[in-house]
Amino acid sequence: MADDRHKYIDAPPVFAKAVVAAAFSPRLTAVLNEAHRILKLLGTWPVIAHVGDESPTTRVRLEEAIDRSHFGEHPPVCIIQHGNPADVLIQVAVEHDADLIVAGALAKEGLFKYYLGSVARTIARQAPCSVLLFTEPQVKPQPLHKIHCAVEYREGAQSAVRVAAALAAYARTRYLYYTHSFTSEEIEEKRRVENRSELIRQFYQKEDEKLKSYIKGVGVEDVQYEARCLYDYARSTTLNFTREVEADLFIIHGPTDRFSLWNRMFGQDLELALHHLPCSVLLTR
């Protein structure tokens, strides 16, 4: 994609401050490196938070982990606090005025999987700020070649559109996809009449034009993107598109009410769904 970063150089940071969750696991270095890559791109100030008992041993272990990561050159503020992991991370975010929480979302087996899944679920639902969950963090982070943003026509949901555009510009993303999934009795009726192919084509064209107009109205017309509407015949339609284009990051407005796209897709099965996400996910608020 073209270099559209000029629009964002003098703009306020997309996220001013972020809390990065640092759990002692085999993937800690990978999570820290992924977080460093994103936060550096966006000009975001990091705070590293570890949930556990404060002790000299824990402090040294955390500082050594940070030194081994890409944060080592300029180590950020580190906080160690005992308590429920999700509650502590949310509390630290509130106390430090953070507008983003970054965490590794999943592991693959046993109690470790359940524990992290539960934490991710709680943060996703209850955090007052945006949340970035890495599903497969890499010690050597890969470029964000493809970003998929799910668009909703809801109050506040414009933030997802803006964040996707800014991140795509800063990361020089090759492909930025905006999709809007819809359900409609009208299109079902068109399937039952003559010339239905043409009628359905016209219906999709109308929906696509509505989506492009909405994106332009949000103010990201200077960024190259592909806009496409999807008929939501199943709860997995939006995620299936993410898989089909092999996106590196899925951006969606965070759950607000039971009618939101997030809740339509995941409902009460968020913990299970987190284990099947095709890529990392950014929930905006």
* Shared-domain flag, residues 274 and 161: yes
User: Within its chain, how far is the Cα of 90 from the centroid?
Assistant: 17
Query: Is residue 140 domain-resident?
Result: no
* Shared-domain flag, residues 103 and 187: no
Q: Pull the structure tokens for residue 175.
A: 């492909």
Domain count, the chain: 2
Residue carrying the six token digits 């000299």? 56
What CATH number should be reported for the domain holding residue 271?
3.40.50.620
Q: What was the pLDDT predicted at 236?
A: 76
Q: What was the pLDDT predicted at 223?
A: 80
* Shared-domain flag, residues 105 and 34: yes
* Shared-domain flag, residues 29 and 129: yes
Residues of the chain with pLDDT under 50: 1-6, 8-9, 106-115
Question: Within 13 Å, how many C-alpha atoms sit on residue 86's CB side?
Answer: 17
Looking at this protein, which amino acid is placed at residue 166? A
Query: Is residue 178 domain-resident?
Result: yes
Evaluate whether 109 touches 275 at the Cβ level (below 8 Å).
no
End of a domain among 71, 99, 134?
A: 134
Per-residue model confidence as pLDDT tens digits over 233-281: 666 788 889 999 999 999 999 776 666 666 666 655 555 556 667 889 9
Per-residue model confidence as pLDDT tens digits over 265-278: 665 555 555 666 78
Q: What was the pLDDT predicted at 254?
A: 79
Bridging pattern class, strands 100-104 and 175-182? unpaired
Q: Where are the beta strands (DSSP E) in 155-261?
A: 175-182, 226-231, 249-253
Query: Is residue 141 domain-resident?
Result: no
* Shared-domain flag, residues 279 and 153: yes
Q: Which DSSP symbol is given to 156?
A: T
* Shared-domain flag, residues 110 and 168: no
Query: What is residue 222's three-state secondary structure?
Result: coil
* Shared-domain flag, residues 125 and 201: no
Q: What was the pLDDT predicted at 196?
A: 62
